[in-house]
Structure 1
Amino acid sequence: MQSPDYHSLIDRETRDFIRITEASYPPDTATLTIAEQRAIYDRMCRAFHRGYPAGVVAVDRAFGGVPCRHYAGAGGTVVYLHGGGFVVGGLHSHDDVCADIRAATGLHVVSVDYRLCPEHTHPAAFDDALAATRAVAAELPAPLVMVGDSAGGNLAAAVCHAAGRRGGLGIAGQVLIYPGLGGVRGGGSFETHAEAPMLTRADVEFYAGVRHAGGVVPAPDPTFAPLSDADFAGLPPTLAVAAECDPLADDAAAYAAAVRAAGGMAAGVVEQGLVHGYLRARATVPRAQASFARITAAISAMAAGRWNPAAEEDGK
């Protein structure tokens, strides 16, 4: 299959973002040791950190025995689960993303520092995400909106499948940002964008391989791969946002379609010309800025009980 013409698909501002990212986080980083990957990722995140908007403060504390960072707000609560392939990242990596979500929505935001692989294989990250969400639901104002990017999108959906159906835990919606949900790993975006900038098929396969002990893929399990669930009924309203130039792009559309087929409210949106990890470009790339505005508007609307999936589809 011919590789996409990324020079045409990706605009100059996004190409600049890719270039700056790769200066800190080279494309072959997944071939390095875990310690080296984490050090490189941490440096990259520090380089992109934008600080906090005026009036936003945060405090580190535990929810459900899981280290978290709480950005105090009002009117409801966002539980944020960070990306990083289940291997890298933490409270620091998405600190300013969470601060910007807090500023844009006014809601409480809780970022969850779940355990990472390979030291803690599945279901450790899921167990932490669920425990933290249950504690947040017990202590902070409802409604809850689950939000996650990449690996965190997987965890946010998994929590909704396990405990968020039909209003469970007060979850009013979920926003999944370029999530990896365990979709088909052959054909479609997985093949078309196998060599995409920022995330390749080989990267996805590497991160999947370290998530479970011994490299053995588990039987269908929605706590591991939400798209493997046989039942999508009763899930909260769902916005699944894909980056066009991403091997994982099809997962968002497939998940939204499964929720709709089960009678739920869902929209799947493909952000044209964007790449995996574009949240870090939300202040420098107009397309990423527009997507982040879509994301925060959806979070606010879900918390207020007035989100309209048709508007997302019309605006994609």
Structure 2
Amino acid sequence: MPDYSQLIDAETWDFIRKTAAAYPDDAVDLDVNGQRRVYDAMCEVFYHGRPEGVTVEDREVEGVPVRVYTAGEPTCTVVYAHGGGFVVGGLDSHDDVCAEICDQTGYRVVAVDYRLAPEHRHPAAFDDCWRATQWVEQTFDQPIVLAGDSAGGNLMACVAHHARGRLHNVIGQVLIYPGLGGDGTGASYSEHANAPMLTKADLDFYRGIRTGGTEPKGDPTYAPLQDDDFSDLPRTVIFTAECDPISSDGPVYARKLREADVPVHLVNEPGLVHGYLRARHMSARAEASFERIVLAIEALGQGLWVHD
């Protein structure tokens, strides 16, 4: 098993301990509403506010709540889906992340408050992200970059697959430690089964809640790796965390895109853990990765490919 005392540096361990103090392991024993309260409270511990100059409007579009961030005159729109295992999280949990992306790129960011399981099982979350992305294209008629972390990375990748032949403005996707529907045989699933922040048991728990116990097969609106066609997808940048059981999904997805002649760049962040976006103001490694994420979004939004 990995020696996390060596792989993970002191700053990231501080983040892990701070997270555990606010969101203890036994939180999964709470009912879903209890888990959401604890998760939201944990996110508040790491909340850094919005940069000056970023304006926010909460709206409901096509029946889906969204939060629109703007700063200046945006030339691109980022559609962002939050993480949280399809069970927890919302507009507030990733508010500062979205505001900082808006501030640093100058792009409009539309955060999607998709419906959560178990009240709303698959395909509810996908349907909401798809409707929000359709609204963005119809409303702003600008280039669109899809972005999301963890469960949100899954959802935005599913939207990218579904958008082919239906939308015309999606020009890139940035996926942050995404769960893409790997079959569980990748090395990370065993090597990092008991990693800090996310374990394989956690993955199984949330998968069961999302589906009600029966996982779809051959459904690319559920998991992009269930698709059999990877052609004509937008340029893609994937960020994985070394100490994360789902990090193997990234290379598998990247390989399928390369085989389909889709430009793709994969970054496996050494010594980082699932959920490290919240550590970007207390860990130099997480801060550097967030800078790379923002630069990837910015370049894709300009139609640039800087990874050859």
TM-score, normalised relative to structure 1: 0.95
- What is the distance in 2 between the residues matched to 1:196 and 1:28? 16
- What is the distance in 2 between the residues matched to 1:186 and 1:288? 27
| Equivalent position of 1:142 in the other structure | 142
Q: How many pairs were matched up?
A: 306
Output the aligned Cα RMSD.
1.2
Residue 197 (structure 1) shift: 0.2
- What is the distance in 1 between the residues matched to 2:60 and 2:37? 24
| Equivalent position of 1:83 in the other structure | 83
- What is the distance in 1 between the residues matched to 2:146 and 2:290? 15
- What is the distance in 2 between the residues matched to 1:289 and 1:22? 20
- What is the distance in 2 between the residues matched to 1:131 and 1:219? 23
| Equivalent position of 1:110 in the other structure | 110
TM-score, normalised relative to structure 2: 0.97
| Equivalent position of 2:124 in the other structure | 124
| Equivalent position of 1:15 in the other structure | 13
Cα pair distance change 1:38/1:46, threshold 3 Å: same
Residue 148 (structure 1) shift: 0.4
Match among 229, 232, 256 for residue 227 of structure 2: 229
| Equivalent position of 1:39 in the other structure | 37
Segments of 5+ residues of structure 2 without an aligned counterpart are: none
Q: Which 10-residue stretch deviates more, 10-19 or 134-143?
A: 134-143
| Equivalent position of 1:313 in the other structure | none
- What is the distance in 1 between the residues matched to 2:167 and 2:24? 41
Matched, 1:61 2:59: yes
- What is the distance in 1 between the residues matched to 2:295 and 2:37? 33
| Equivalent position of 1:251 in the other structure | 249
- What is the distance in 2 between the residues matched to 1:167 and 1:18? 41
Residue 304 (structure 1) shift: 0.5
| Equivalent position of 2:198 in the other structure | 199
Residue 185 (structure 1) shift: 1.0
Residue 167 (structure 1) shift: 8.9
| Equivalent position of 2:70 in the other structure | 72
| Equivalent position of 1:270 in the other structure | 268
**Counterparts of 1:150-299 in structure 2 under 5 Å?**
150-163=150-163, 165=164, 168-213=167-212, 215-299=213-297
Paired amino acid for 2:107: L
Residue 307 (structure 1) shift: 2.1
**Partner of 1:98: helix, strand, or coil?**
helix
Q: Which 10-residue stretch deviates more, 22-31 or 3-12?
A: 22-31
Paired amino acid for 1:190: Y
Once the two structures are superposed, what CA deviation does each residue of 1:7-66 show, in whole Å capped at 9, x if it has no partner? 100000000000001000112322321111101001001111100111111110022221
Paired amino acid for 2:287: Q
Residue 308 (structure 1) shift: 2.3
**Partner of 1:69: helix, strand, or coil?**
strand
- What is the distance in 1 between the residues matched to 2:62 and 2:161? 19
Paired amino acid for 2:266: G
**Partner of 1:248: helix, strand, or coil?**
coil
After TM superposition, the runs of 4+ consecutive aligned structure 1 residues lying more than 4 A away are none
Residue 106 (structure 1) shift: 0.4
Decide whether the 8 Å contact of 1:166 with 1:235 is kept in 2: no
Residue 184 (structure 1) shift: 2.0
- What is the distance in 2 between the residues matched to 1:212 and 1:22? 27
| Equivalent position of 1:314 in the other structure | none
Residue 166 (structure 1) shift: 6.9
Decide whether the 8 Å contact of 1:13 with 1:285 is kept in 2: yes
Q: Which 10-residue stretch deviates more, 252-261 or 102-111?
A: 252-261
**Partner of 2:115: helix, strand, or coil?**
coil
